[in-house]
Chains A and B, each alone.
Chain A
Amino acid sequence: MQSYIVLAAAEGEEHSPLVPIFSEIVLALIVFAIVLFAVTKFVVPRFEQAYAERTTAIEGGLAAAETKQAEADAKLAQLEAQLADARHEASRIREEAREQGAAIIAEMRQQAQADATRIVESGKAQIEAERQQAVTALRAEVGALATSLAGRVVGESLEDDERSSRVVDRFLADLETIEASEAAGSRGV
């Protein structure tokens, strides 16, 4: 306390630090007014503008991303639907082809069966016809041979057709009878 007083006395004029000096008040007022003006006029609007632009940019980016996402989702769903359709179509075609194949095979089998039957039938008929023909030809030839042979043996002409054919017939019938009785006799013996 004492030194304070001594100091004050040494300074000659003591100014309490709590008493503001008028020129300082005025200076601070002017300087602060200038700062306030500059900040209000040039700084705050710019910062606010930057804030607003940033908000817009971020919101715009988010909205764009959402739109893109939705588009991609729609496209994916569409593609998946198409894929399912294609799969379904493919399986239907495969089924159809299988059915068709089976039908064709059955038809072919049936046709082949029919062909085979027909060929067998015609072969049989031809064989029968040829046999008949051979029997007929053989009978005529055997008749002629036997007649001429008997004519030579008997010395009698057997050229008379009607008679000769009767004779041949009888001969043949006898022959058959003899053969039959011989067969019976041999069996009997």
Chain B
Amino acid sequence: MSATLIPAIISAAEGGDGEFVPPGPSSFDLPPFANLGGFEITKPMGLVVLSAVIVIGFTVLASRKAEVVPGRLQFAGEAVYGFVRNSMARESIGGEHFMKFVPYLFSLFLFILVNNYYGILPFLQFPSFSRIGFIVPLAIITWLLYIGAGIYAHGPFGYLKHATVPGGVSGPILLLLVPLEFISNILVRPFTLTLRLFGNMFAGHLLLILFATGGAALLTSGNIGYGVVGVLSFGLGIAVSFLEMLVMFLQAYVFTLLASMYIGEALADEH
């Protein structure tokens, strides 16, 4: 929605200046920078690969010594690990099963976090998860994982009942509730997971491009009034950057937290 609204507003603000190309969805279609045996490699692809190097490098270095009295790097690694392990996995899944899911949730959190923060890293400046294709596999894995956990805990039909029939409800109202629960608990979740992360990264990056390129265009327009607005635009861009830093962390947190909550819910004994 905002993706189509904002360029419209900006083009209205631009008035007669035809040279300025407002940012839009096409700003996220970057041209390939290399061709590897017929595969076109784009910047987001390179960034995703780089994120794996960063995540593995950081975690392996931080955990390499695994000393009782941690060094700085190990302490930092343990802080992140403990955050995912204790305040997300253990809280949501419970003490019995949570350790099986900690590696997945920890990888997921760091992977999303690094890819999100690309958006404000100088020179990289592109949140790779504004490309929906990168998020889809994460959502599908999460979906398979919590459904698998539910089937493991309750059996196929047991889990179906567990996920769709709310506890303490009986009678004809179930005719209404069961399809709703089925849709919300089983069908929609991977889509909401994907779209939430994608939408935030996409819109956030669009805002940043808008304030940066729009500000530049206004400053170079030669009109003093536009120039003042351009300075304002840059100021807002900086403010939005800080907002984005928060959003980038929050989205990684929310995705991981929801994944662990879905798993915990699937494994739970009662509603």
Contact = CB atoms under 8 A, between A and B. Distances in A.
Interface in B137-179: 137-138, 141
A43 B63 contact: yes
Interface stretch (A2-10, A125-133, A167-175): A2-10
Interface in B197-211: 198, 202
B56 A25 contact: no
Contacts of A49: 66
10 contacts: A3-B7, A3-B8, A3-B11, A4-B25, A15-B25, A21-B131, A24-B133, A27-B134, A35-B110, A50-B70
B8 A18 contact: no
Nearest to B99: A48
B240 interface: no
A53 B60 CA distance: 18
Given A23-B133, A35-B55, 8 more contacts: A15-B26, A16-B25, A23-B45, A28-B48, A31-B48, A35-B107, A46-B63, A47-B78
Contacts of B111: 32, 35
A24 B32 CA distance: 13
Interface of B: 3-4, 7-8, 10-11, 21-22, 24-26, 28-29, 39, 44-45, 48-49, 51-52, 55-56, 59-60, 62-64, 66-68, 70, 74, 77-78, 81, 85, 99, 102-104, 106-107, 110-111, 130-138, 141, 198, 202
A2 B26 contact: no
Contact of A7 (B24, B77, B136, B137): B24
A24 B52 CA distance: 14
Interface of A: 1-4, 7-8, 11, 14-25, 27-29, 31-32, 34-36, 38-40, 42-44, 46-50, 53-54, 57
Most buried by A among B8, B59, B77: B59
A5 to B, nearest CB: 9
A20 B133 contact: yes
A24 B29 CA distance: 12
A29 to B, nearest CB: 4
B60 A36 contact: no
A152 to B, nearest CB: 142
A32 B137 contact: yes
B107 A4 contact: no
B132 A47 contact: no
A49 B64 CA distance: 11
B65 to A, nearest CB: 8
Contacts of B68: 50, 53-54, 57
A14 B28 CA distance: 11
Nearest to A26: B137
B11 A28 contact: no
Contacts of B138: 28, 32
A31 B132 CA distance: 15
A53 B137 CA distance: 36
Contacts of A19: 132
Nearest to B114: A35
Contacts of A24: 44-45, 131, 133-134
Contacts of A15: 25-26, 29
Leading 6 A-B pairs by shortest Cβ distance:
A24-B133, A20-B133, A46-B63, A3-B11, A40-B103, A46-B66
